[in-house]
Structure 1
Amino acid sequence: MGNPFAGEVAITIGDAVHEAKLTLGALAELEANLHSGSLIDLVARFEGGAFSSRDVIAVIVAGLRGGGWRGQAGDLLAVEFAGGPLGAAKLAATLLASAFTVPQ
């Protein structure tokens, strides 16, 4: 299980659990890979429910890379996330929230 005080979120890929977190480097890579807007725009899209599947994958990949994963976005195309697409979107939203808030 991820450590919320370190901004970590546990993500299961296949049989392996990975600790993901949006480090500063991961956030910079995420922002560089966004097809539109800034990180603030990305957060606003998630808050408003106007995010794309590309946004979800980009955030998850950045979080996994921040946790030390060496894969590529294409490696996740056939992955089944718990809860399906909605579960993946919740993981991405949790990663974003964990990067910018302090847990209660």
Structure 2
Amino acid sequence: TIMSDSEDSTVTYTSVSSPYEGRLGDVSPGEDGPPVMPEDPYAYVVAAFQALPPPDYVPGPEEPEAPPSPVYIPYPLPAAASPTTDSPGYIPESDPYEDPEDDDD
């Protein structure tokens, strides 16, 4: 342990030995030291997707079957249920290209 004092602070340096180090900074990864990282750290992910399925695996459909579409029965709404019929300027059967002033009826 090395101590360094100054007017404002004290710093302490502590040396810790490790079973993985031989000489200073000489680390032998894989044999005497920590395990060596594979060259491609994601190789195990790729290998997992390429692995064979378990023996009890039963292949299913590639896409799940869609639920049946709902059946809608069209029916007219009663006249009172339509907000358009209650509006004051409602014209039941009008032609947008017809001029209302030209009405001979």
TMscore range, shorter length: under 0.3
Larger Rg: 2
More helix by share: 1
Q: TM-score, normalised to structure 1's length?
A: 0.16
> Relative contact order (C-alpha < 8 Å, sep 6+): which is higher?
1
TM-score by length of 2: 0.16
